[in-house]
């Protein structure tokens, strides 16, 4: 039976609709799981989803062009209408503003965390008066005119920038131009736990400043008093500045391959009226050179960009993570701390822990696992989508 060939009892269903061959309470429904779809179920449509027995399974956003054919948003009989969007967005914003009370401590946080907030395909970060929106599905893109006013009202913000990565556009089968509010500022200044940052939207890759490491940055600052600290893949200097400003580190060196990132870190150091060493370099040759020079560090942070974008890239990504961690472990002074991170959702937490310990062993180091942490709580995890627990931060003491 064709995917668009209606069955005999289609008249009893709420259109547009999709019926599944098999059903599981998971966010992502793949093409092979679909039995049929109504003729009016178009790419980007909100659809009622039925199980193989013809009972309502839930509602989602449909796109037969994508490998993820349906992104499930609920498993109830409530349609994806105006009241639904108001309620689901209010619930997400309420977590940050009422439950976590993030406005009291930071001007930057994750307002919407895709699957973690039952809003698959939508990521929104708040920076002061501005919303940085990333769209990952055609269905969400088609809802943006409805969603943006609701988000601004709930968050009390005025400006927005909406982007769709080119990779997403290819996978989802549509083209999109960046959407910006009138008089959008090119940058804003925010304070996070009394450390100040300038968030530059024109230069920053992804969303300009990474809110997910907030709690890990603060935790690291408690370990750096009087220490020599190396912050590798530093981006805008988050870990290094926390180590210096809050942690009173003796000396901090921040390294990044992106020249714009190094300049952002430089401006942030000036904003905090502090001094850190900034190096424009690739982490691999830099670490090899420091080893050749006999350098070591009391605390080393390794937080590379995403290295695995799909399951077909896992082995290559593992090799890169292993080599990075082997070199990093060799640079940590005896009794020092290595904080090593992965934001690749395709790599499981236990696999990453084993990899880091194995890399340290190959570097001739013995490890103590102090802790394994993840993203800050404004990045909640959905039990139906384990990939939403993408960030792994392994804290090792090395001997």
Q: How far apart are CA 52 and CA 34, in angstroms?
A: 9
Q: Give pLDDT, residue 1.
A: 42
- In this predicted structure, the answer to whether residue 8 has a pLDDT above a threshold of 80 is no
For the stretch 234-246, pLDDT in tens is 999 999 999 999 9
- The stretch 159-182 carries a mean pLDDT of 95
Residue 202 scores a pLDDT above 60? yes
Alpha carbon distance, N-terminus to C-terminus of the chain: 63
Q: How far is 289 from 294, CA to CA, in rounded Å? A: 9
Q: What tokens appear for 53 in the block?
A: 């027995």
* Cis previous bond, 372, omega within 30: no
When pLDDT is cut at 50, 70 and 90, the band that residue 387 belongs to is confident
Sign of the Cα torsion 23, 26, 27, 28 reads negative
């959702």: which residue's tokens? 345
* Residue ranges of the chain assigned to CATH 2.30.130.10: 10-74
Residue scoring higher pLDDT (243 or 2): 243
Residue 50: how many other CB atoms lie within 10 Å: 24
Place of tokens 């802790």: 371
pLDDT at position 325 is: 98
Q: Helix, strand, or coil here: 206? A: coil
pLDDT at 189: 96
CATH number 3.30.750.80 is the correct assignment for the domain at 82-180: yes
Secondary structure (DSSP) of 267-309: HHHHHTT---EEEE--HHHHHHHHHHTT--EEEEEE-PPP---
DSSP 66-98: SSEEEEEEESSS--SSHHHHHHHHHHHHHIIII
Provide the sign of the torsion angle of the four alpha carbons 309, 315, 317, 318, taken in this order: positive
Domain with CATH 3.40.50.150 in the chain: 187-398
Determine what percent of the chain is predicted with pLDDT higher than 90: 87
On average, the pLDDT of the chain sits at 94
CATH C-level class of 187-398: alpha beta
- The torsion angles phi and psi of 152, rounded to 5 degrees, stand at -65, -40
| Residues 105-149 pLDDT 10s | 999 999 999 999 999 999 999 999 999 999 999 999 999 999 999
For the segment(s) 10-74, the CATH number from 2.30.130.10, 3.90.550.10, 3.40.1180.10, 1.20.1290.10 is 2.30.130.10
Residue 112's CB is within 10 A of a number of other CB atoms, namely 25
Q: Which residues are catalytic?
A: 343
What 3-state DSSP class applies to 175? Answer: coil
- What's the pLDDT at 28? 96
Rounded to 5 degrees, φ, ψ at 374 are -135, -145
pLDDT digits (tens, 9 = 90+) for 80-108: 999 999 999 999 999 999 999 999 999 99
- 3-state SS assignment for residue 322: helix
Which DSSP helix (H) or strand (E) runs through 362? helix 349-362
């Amino acid at each position: 039976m064709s995917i668009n060939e209606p069955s005999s009892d289609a008249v009893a269903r709420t259109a547009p609709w999709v019926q599944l061959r098999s059903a599981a309470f998971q966010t992502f429904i793949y093409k092979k799981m679909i039995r049929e779809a109504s003729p009016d179920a178009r790419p980007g449509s909100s659809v009622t989803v039925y199980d193989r027995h013809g009972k309502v399974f839930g509602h989602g956003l449909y796109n037969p062009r994508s490998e993820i054919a349906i992104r499930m948003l609920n498993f109830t009989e409530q349609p994806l209408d105006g009241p639904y969007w108001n309620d689901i967005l209010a619930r997400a914003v309420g977590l940050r503003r009422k439950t976590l009370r993030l406005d009291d401590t930071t001007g930057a946080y994750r307002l919407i965390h895709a699957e973690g907030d039952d809003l698959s395909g939508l990521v929104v970060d708040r920076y002061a008066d501005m919303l940085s929106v990333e769209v990952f599905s055609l269905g969400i893109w088609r809802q943006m005119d409805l969603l943006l006013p609701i988000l601004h009202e709930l968050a009390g913000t005025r400006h927005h920038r909406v982007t769709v990565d080119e990779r997403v556009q290819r996978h989802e089968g549509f083209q999109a131009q960046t959407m910006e509010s009138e008089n959008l500022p090119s940058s804003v200044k925010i304070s996070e736990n009394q450390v100040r940052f300038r968030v530059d939207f024109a230069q920053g890759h992804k969303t300009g400043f990474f809110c997910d490491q907030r709690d890990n940055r603060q935790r690291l600052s408690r370990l750096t008093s009087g220490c020599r600290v190396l912050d590798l893949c530093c981006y805008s200097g988050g870990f290094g500045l926390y180590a210096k400003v809050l942690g009173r580190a003796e000396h901090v060196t921040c390294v990044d391959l992106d020249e714009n990132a190094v300049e952002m870190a430089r401006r942030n150091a000036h904003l905090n009226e502090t001094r850190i060493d900034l190096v424009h370099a690739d982490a691999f040759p830099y670490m090899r050179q420091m080893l050749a020079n006999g350098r070591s560090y009391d605390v080393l942070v390794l937080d590379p960009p995403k290295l695995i974008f799909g399951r077909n890239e896992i082995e290559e990504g593992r090799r890169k993570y292993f080599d990075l961690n082997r070199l990093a472990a060799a640079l940590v002074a005896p009794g020092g701390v290595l904080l090593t991170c992965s934001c690749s959702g395709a790599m499981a937490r236990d696999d990453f822990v084993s990899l880091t310990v194995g890399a340290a062993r190959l570097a001739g180091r013995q490890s103590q696992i102090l802790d394994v942490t993840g993203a800050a709580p404004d990045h909640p995890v959905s039990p139906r989508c384990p990939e939403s627990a993408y960030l792994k931060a392994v804290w090792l003491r090395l001997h």
